[in-house]
């Protein structure tokens, strides 16, 4: 009986490790596909701008604008992925559009009704988490003694900086594309 249980345990452990490897490979593949999608969209926008451009003097500025626009779109793609959205509801898009542009990405998101920042203790550490409507959260900081330490998320920070940098007209177009199913 003991031998049988050992074999069964070994088989279960092998299955567990195999599934974990598959999950890890899936995450890498999904990240690569997301990067490829982003590069494709950026290429499409660059081609459109270059075809429409009449003078080479404005080409560099146009390329920078396209790059910023694609990075701004990435901000909302990250929100969808990290908070488990299939797609945003029209009401949420309206709230994002009406929300005040803040210094930090998490403060901007916190201005939308279904999102909130909460502080709680977990594993003897006071954590600061941004919660979304799907009960998924992102840890954005913690306390080191009495000092509040906000954590860095380079993807969110880079894409939110681009979102802040684009013109109001480009933001309107971005929200319009979100409404159409982005």
State residue 152's pLDDT score.
87
pLDDT tens for the 182 residues of the chain, in order: 888 888 888 888 878 888 888 888 888 888 888 888 888 888 888 877 776 665 666 666 777 788 888 899 999 999 998 988 888 888 889 999 999 999 999 999 999 988 999 998 877 889 999 998 888 888 999 888 888 889 989 999 999 999 999 999 999 999 998 888 75
Q: Is the separation of the CB atoms in 175 and 93 below 8 Å?
A: yes
State residue 22's pLDDT score.
86
Model pTM? 0.69
* Domain annotation covers residue 171: yes
What lies within 8 Å, CB to CB, of 19 at 6+ separation is none
Strand order in the sheet with 147-150: 116-122, 125-131, 137-144, 147-150
Q: State the total domains in the chain.
A: 1
* Domain annotation covers residue 70: no
* Integer Cα distance of 133 and 86 in angstroms: 12
* Domain annotation covers residue 72: no
Domain that holds residue 151: 77-179
* Domain annotation covers residue 122: yes
State residue 133's pLDDT score.
86
Q: Given CA atoms 96, 101, 105, 106 in this order, what sign does their dihedral have?
A: negative
* Domain annotation covers residue 164: yes
* Domain annotation covers residue 6: no
Q: How many residues can be counted in the chain?
A: 182
* Domain annotation covers residue 127: yes
* Domain annotation covers residue 53: no
Q: What's the first-to-final CA gap in the chain, in angstroms?
A: 57
* Integer Cα distance of 20 and 17 in angstroms: 5
- The torsion angle over the Cα atoms of residues 151, 174, 39 and 51, rounded to 10 degrees, is -140
């Amino acid at each position: 009986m003991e031998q049988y249980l050992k074999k069964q345990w070994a088989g279960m452990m092998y299955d567990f490790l195999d599934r974990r490897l598959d999950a890890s490979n899936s995450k890498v593949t999904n990240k690569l596909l997301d990067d490829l999608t982003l590069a494709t969209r950026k290429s499409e926008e660059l081609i459109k701008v270059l075809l429409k451009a009449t003078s080479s003097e404005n080409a560099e500025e146009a390329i920078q604008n396209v790059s910023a626009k694609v990075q701004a779109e990435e901000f909302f793609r990250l929100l969808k992925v990290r908070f488990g959205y299939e797609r945003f509801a029209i009401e949420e898009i309206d709230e994002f559009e009406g929300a005040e542009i803040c210094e930090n990405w998490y403060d901007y998101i916190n201005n939308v009704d279904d999102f909130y920042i909460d502080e709680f203790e977990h594993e003897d550490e006071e954590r600061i988490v941004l919660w979304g409507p799907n009960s998924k959260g992102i840890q954005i900081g913690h306390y080191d003694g009495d000092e509040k330490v906000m954590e860095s998320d380079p993807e969110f920070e880079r894409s939110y900086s681009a979102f802040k940098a684009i013109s109001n007209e480009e933001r309107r177009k971005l929200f319009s594309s979100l409404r159409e199913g982005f």
